[in-house]
Amino acid sequence: MLKGRKTCHTGKGRTAGWNMPLGYPIDQGKMSPRAVTSHRVERTKTHTHTHTLHCRCSGNQNNKLCVMCFLQGVADFFNASCIPGSQGDPLSLCQLCKGNGAGQFICDKTENERYYAYNGAFRDGTRAPVREHHRCHLVRVPARGIVVKSDISGTAVYDMLTEGLFLRWCVLSSGEQQKCADMSEAFSAKSLLPSIQCVMGSSVENCMKKFQNKEGDAITLDGGYIYTAGKTYGLVPVAGESYTGDSDGSIYYAVAVVKKSNRDITKLEDLRGLSSCHTGYGRTAGWNIPIGLLIEKGLFRPAQCQIPQAAGVFFKNSCVPGANLPGFPDNLCGLCVGDSSGQNKCEKGKDLFDGYDGAFRCLAKGDGEVAFIKHTTGSRVEVTQYGHCNLARVPSHAVMVRPDTNIYALYGLLDKAQFKMFDSSEYQGSDLIFKDSTVSMIRVAERKTYDQWLGQGYMDSFTNMECNSSSKEDLSFPKPNPKPHPCSSPNSNPCPSSNVSPSPTLNISTLATVPVAT
């Protein structure tokens, strides 16, 4: 049925376009290149010579004569063809090829030939639509495969090739779930890999356990959780948030903010008996840094690791989302208001006073007298003194992953993404997945472990929050005879109006009293 027809092939030597369609008529006895007589003509300036070559390919069928005869046999069987790579010998094998449309690259076995590859075939002599390929085809051909040495585990190679095709991002709220889904769709539309799958976690700790069970791959965490994720669960940072667009932006300042009317608050001990607003229990700027600093200065001494109980005594009333745990003082949740319906009071991620914006809201609109937040929160007022008057210089939030994750692929995904990753205005909540104040993501560079990312200064301050629960003595970590700081001196003016620049090594022990409209 195909003899004398015009044919199109994917290319010489290719499976579906050469080996199978030509092997089939040979197998059926329709084509016999082994018995073909080929006439070849050679011309010189003075003579024309015709050579007749008789093919007998019973031996090595790859020898030059046999190949030449096979090609001539194909040319004799079909009327005209386009078989990219046949080099026009015989000429009819390239007769239908078009090249690049400009007369170049005709019959090339490359994309320069517009008829090359799969742009162009029935066993029972009938025709059928292309969608009927499963019943109307020349032959079923095995898909392309990867070949490895016999001493290499095929399963290991398969796992290596398939593991990085998707990334499971752990989210903590319905707002994050929706933003994650939109982010995944946007990445897929740009054919960016790995593809994002969104996994809901009931808490940060629950997400970490999912990673441990290989049920999740990535999450963005603040310093306090980075410490736990790295030390307890073995996670590593892959990218950090930058709040200025460069590597210097991978830090922020933890500050204590008071209302403008509270001018008598000038030093740490003035915080005793106040109502406090915190971003959340275990959070860096809202809990670990200020509480660790109060312990370091000896302003309270938690007995037998009972830090929350000591904080409950030091502050009159507080909102510490996440402190609604058994045995914790009730007043740590006393200022919390719950969600918009009044439910979920003191719940992390749900209370209206949760997070940076929530703690600032607690101060500005609630009954709080001091808020422990980061310096960029509350940008409605000018904050000019955070650089030299702050509680601590803190590493930015970072994306944490399991150590076997391809960190280069993940950073490349975040770096190339065309999606409003740092804007949560269209969703329920703020700072969803990434902080809204983030400008860009930056590489971790040499800071490849949790402790390297956090830095020695932060690691040192964090030890103030750790203690041996079996200890029977009061635990405090005051440094002997600390040098007084201009921001904490009883005779000093409030820090924002001071012209004194403290030593950088004392930044962790300073208090920023940033004016806020009452």
Residue of 88, 93, 84, 146 lying closest to 115 (CA atoms): 84
pLDDT tens-digit series, residues 78-91: 889 998 988 767 88
- Report the range of poorest mean pLDDT among 1-5, 344-348, 445-449, 469-473: 469-473
Identify the three-state secondary structure at position 441.
Answer: strand
* 16 vs 448 pLDDT, higher one: 448
Q: Which CATH number fits domain 6-132: 3.30.1910, 3.90.1070, 3.40.190, 2.30.29?
A: 3.40.190
Mean pLDDT of 351-379: 83
**pLDDT tier, 164 (very low <50, low <70, confident <90, very high otherwise):** low
Report how far apart, in Å, the C-alpha atoms of 350 and of each of 162, 280, 322, 344 are.
37, 11, 10, 6
Q: How does pLDDT run across 144-158, given as a tens digit for each residue? A: 788 888 887 777 777
The DSSP letter of residue 505 is G
**Which pLDDT belongs to residue 385?**
53
Rg (the chain; Cα; Å): 36
Q: Which two tokens stand for residue 105?
A: 């690259």
Secondary structure (H, E, C), 453-466: HHCHHHHHHHHHHC
Residue 497, classed as helix, strand or coil, is helix
Average pLDDT, the chain: 77
In whole angstroms, give the CA distance from residue 171 to residue 173.
6
Domain 6-132 and domain 248-509, same fold? Reply is yes
Closest CA to 260 of 166, 382, 415, 132: 382
Q: Are 97 and 103 in contact (CB under 8 A)?
A: no
Confidence category of residue 123, pLDDT binned at 50, 70, 90: very low
Whether the predicted pLDDT of 52 surpasses 80: no
Question: Quick one: average pLDDT of 481-504?
Answer: 35
Q: Is residue 34 over pLDDT 60?
A: no
Strands (E), 251-377: 251-258, 275-278, 317-319, 370-374
User: In angstroms, rounded to a whole number, what is the distance separating the alpha carbons of residues 228 and 397?
Assistant: 13
Strand, helix or coil for residue 170: strand
- Residue spans per domain, the chain: 6-132, 248-509
Residues in the chain: 518
Q: pLDDT over 90 for what percent of the chain? A: 29
| Confidence at residue 111, expressed as pLDDT on a 0 to 100 scale | 84
- Per-residue pLDDT of 303-358, as tens digits, reads 777 899 999 999 999 999 999 999 999 999 999 999 989 999 999 888 999 988 89
pTM over 0.85: no
* Separation between Cα atoms, residue 311 and residue 295, nearest integer Å: 10
DSSP string computed for 293-342: HHHHTTS---BTT-HHHHHHHHSSEEE-TT---TTS-GGGGTT---STTS
SS percent in the chain: helix, strand, coil, step 5: 30, 15, 55
Confidence of residue 179 (pLDDT cuts 50, 70, 90): very high
First to last CA, the chain: 92
- Of the listed ranges 93-102, 132-141, 314-323, 423-432, the least confidently predicted one is 132-141
| Cα 492 to Cα 160: distance, rounded to the nearest angstrom | 62
Span 236-263, average pLDDT: 80
DSSP 77: H
The per-residue pLDDT for 394 is 74
Q: What is the mean pLDDT of residues 388-398?
A: 72
For residue 373, what pLDDT is reported?
87
Cβ within 8 Å of residue 112, ≥6 positions away: 99, 100, 104, 105
Which tokens belong to 218?
């990535």
**Which pLDDT band holds residue 474 (cuts at 50, 70, 90)?**
very low
CA distance 489 to 484: 6
Pick the CATH number of 248-509 from 3.40.50.300, 3.30.930.10, 3.40.640.10, 3.40.190.10: 3.40.190.10
